[in-house]
Chain A
Amino acid sequence: MHGTTMIFLAIMPMGAAFFNFIIPLQIGARDVAFPRLNALSYWVFLSGALFLHSSFLAGSIPDAGWFGYANLTTRQFSPGSHVDFWMLGLQILGLSSLMAGFNFIVTIINMRAPGMTLMRLPLFIWMSFVVQFLVVLAFPAITVALILLMFDRLFGTLFFAPAAGADPLLWQHLFWIFGHPEVYILILPAMGIVSEVLPTFSRKPLFGAPVVIYSGIMIGFFGFGVWSHHMFSVGMGPVADSAFSIATLLIAVPTGVKIFNWIGTLWGGSIRFATPLLFSLGFISMFIMGGLSGVMHASPPVDLQQTDTYFIVAHFHYVLFGGSIFGLFSGVYYWFPKIFGKVLDERLGKLHFWLMLIGFNVTFFPMHFLGLIGMPRRIYTYAPDLGWNFWNAVATVGAFIIALSFVVFMVNVAKTTRSGAPAPADPWDARTLEWTISSPPPVYNFATIPTVHDRDDFWIAKYGDGHGTPPRKAAPAAHVDPKSIHMPPPSYWPLLLAAAIAFTISGLLISMYQVILGGLLTLYCMVRFMLEYHRPAAGGHH
């Protein structure tokens, strides 16, 4: 449950929160393409999260790991409803991610402000764009895997029954065809945030921005060709092992390119060490370490030594905590003034950063040693004479330091929201469109949709491009009466439809009558949802 929760209910939604808030702002739009679908996606996510965690109340907590390997998860080896909560909960959450994916793809392609060509899209938008394609193309694989598992568990099919000739590796392939792109779904938003924060605080354009964009696309593309490196130890044979090993080594190239671009951005910049930048630097340094141990696993002989040990635990915490979480916190500190209208306290922010950086390394670095001397994953106790005691004790101390750092963060948020001074529109002297409007932005975002001339449009408008283009004088803002801007009115149908979907799927745990009733309710809500704006009165849109 720790892995499932952190991946699907912590890192992914933190990324999604930024997609929702920042994508329309950075592309100069008033909203996403499908506001009601967006609401539906949120309510479905919430119901999925509640459903998954209601397993704690029901006393049957999913216990098969975040990858839920078959046939451990079949009825024979996992009786009870533990795994049912997991597979149905993930199915609901997947639905929400897919809907968000379609929505953001259309938003980014179709709702860019005039002049914002694809190559002028800010880097955060580009990385988000790649993430949406990964979501839309990778989630169907786990949807199918979970459907097969559901049929095995509820309707007695034989997909994962070796006695009938089935091959449990089918699950592993389907799962990791989803699971590896999922890793990039988790890290690319953080890479996008870092690519926004570094130029702002170095007061320089992102070094080789087009190359960073291409690298992001390459990562997304290769991400679909490396899934079996999670499966070296199952014995796929030398050909498959070599192919996936080579592909995995290849994917390190665009990632390395990005890291050099980030360093190149810092080089020679007039750097301001504000909290967002510190978290971005934390991201780069920790992600390099996680990336290096990742490249080690690309070699099957090395992987066979390290698989299922704490070395792996250390590796993926360096990329997901040291990478994603540090990057996302960089975004939290960077965009907090834009979202809530107040700049987070810098002193507490820096304290948070240093505590988190130290706590993180004290917790997870020793796990490299523990793994190499043979401590396996997924154990809750061990004999006292194995030589693992000291480093485990150190890791425990580190975990408390991490917890303390989060307390500091929460104190910071509480203090800032209560007594912080209002933030100006552009507190960081930043570069992109969201900083041209007030903090927090009005509901309609832009009174007049801006026209874009460059990737760092706002910066060049302020200072010129340094090659002779003078700063642009702000065009006298045409007065637009906010009341004339029509935003979509609230709708109840997303909430009701999400409730109907959750009711239907939870029926699979309770009774088939509930499933049928829920299905009919879902159909009814869908029709009402679709017809809500069928032929609205003239002028009712905009």
Chain B
Amino acid sequence: MAEAHAVAHDDPNIGVTGLDHRKLGMWAFLGSECMFFGSLIGTYLSYKGKSINGPGPHEILNIPLTSVSAFVLLMSSLLMVLALAAVQRNDMKWAKIWLFMTALFGSGFVGFQCFEFTHFVHLGLTLHTNLFGTTFFVLTGFHGAHVTGGVIWLLSLWVLALRGKLGPQDSLKVEICGLYWHFVDIVWIAIFTLVYLIP
């Protein structure tokens, strides 16, 4: 035990477990986020099929189109992995490309969601139409807001990289952003399955 403590004395961010404080903090945050989305998804499910007027999910959700946007979001996770790998091996040219591409794919997902929301409003489904509209927009909207936050985060890292202020010694910052990004993707897998795929 004592030897393990003696190791990383110069880096003030590494604790007795050998983990970086910031990484551990991010994991604690993601645990909390699980309860956050769990409560929102629980709300959606407990009101599922309780709307007393239309339009309902089966009349309005476009599964093929959303599958494409879900695919875009999931692919952005792959790009995130490539971005982290590039930063870690100090390949900053590709790091910039992959960071930007991850943010772009994320924005693509958000853009699709904006289109979807507008389209639904035209079809007569708003926040106040029925319980489906209420729960659907709030659940997917909060997920979209999380993706938007992630895009801003990625773009900030990208700007740092453009200015030459990001290198292998900062790879932990990219890794933590990646943890968040993958988490948001996983939440979408849950939402996509529960809201869109299960009739």
Contact = CB atoms under 8 A, between A and B. Distances in A.
**A and B from one complex:** yes
Given A111-B15, A115-B1, A170-B43, A158 B170 contact: no
Given A115-B1, A542-B12, A523 B152 contact: yes
B26 to A, nearest CB: 9
A155 interface: yes
Contact of B43 (A33, A103, A174, A523): A174
A156 B32 contact: no
A159 B35 CA distance: 19
Given A115-B2, A137-B32, A141-B35, A156 B127 contact: yes
B1 to A, nearest CB: 7
Nearest to A166: B131
A106 interface: yes
B12 A541 contact: yes
Contacts of B16: 110-112, 114
A147 interface: yes
Interface in B36-50: 36, 38-40, 43, 46-47, 50
Nearest to A158: B134
A101 interface: yes
Interface stretch (B17-25, B79-87, B114-122): B17-25
A174 B32 contact: no
Chain B, interface SS category: helix
A114 B5 contact: yes
B33 A140 contact: yes
Contacts of A105: 24-25, 28
Nearest to B24: A106
A98 interface: yes
Interface string B125-140: 0011011001101100
Contact of B50 (A139, A140, A147, A165): A165
A224 to B, nearest CB: 10
A345 interface: no
B50 A166 contact: yes
Nearest to B19: A110
B51 interface: yes
Contacts of B28: 101-102, 105-106, 136
A43 B7 CA distance: 35
Contacts of A102: 25, 28-29, 32
Interface residues of A, number: 47
B198 interface: no
Contacts of A117: 1
A20 interface: no
A418 interface: no
A148 B43 contact: yes
Contacts of A103: 25
Nearest to A530: B156
Contact of B170 (A144, A155, A535, A541): A535
A34 B13 CA distance: 9
A147 B134 CA distance: 12
Nearest to A527: B156
A174 B35 CA distance: 11
A106 B128 contact: no
A523 B29 CA distance: 19
B58 interface: no
B162 interface: no
A143 B32 CA distance: 11
Q: Which of B25, B31, B142 has the most CB of A within 10 A?
A: B25
A140 to B, nearest CB: 4
Given A136-B31, A141-B39, A523-B152, A106 B25 contact: yes
Given A111-B16, A112-B16, A527-B156, A33 B21 contact: yes
Contacts of B13: 541
Contacts of B160: 534
B145 to A, nearest CB: 11
Given A34-B21, A143-B36, A451-B2, A106 B15 contact: yes
Given A102-B29, A110-B16, A117-B1, A158 B131 contact: yes
Contacts of A166: 47, 50, 131
A117 B28 CA distance: 20
A309 to B, nearest CB: 30
The 10 tightest CB contacts between A and B, nearest first, are A110-B15, A144-B39, A140-B35, A140-B36, A114-B5, A157-B134, A33-B21, A165-B52, A136-B32, A165-B50
23 contacts: A34-B21, A102-B29, A103-B25, A106-B28, A110-B16, A110-B17, A110-B19, A111-B16, A136-B28, A138-B35, A140-B33, A140-B36, A141-B39, A143-B39, A144-B36, A151-B138, A158-B128, A158-B131, A164-B51, A165-B130, A451-B2, A534-B165, A535-B170
Interface of A: 33-34, 98, 101-103, 105-106, 109-112, 114-115, 117, 136-141, 143-145, 147-148, 151, 155-159, 164-167, 170, 174, 177, 451, 523, 527, 530, 534-535, 541-542
Given A167-B50, A541-B13, 20 more contacts: A102-B28, A106-B28, A109-B15, A110-B16, A111-B16, A111-B21, A115-B5, A136-B31, A140-B32, A141-B39, A144-B36, A144-B39, A147-B142, A151-B138, A158-B130, A158-B131, A165-B131, A177-B39, A534-B160, A535-B165
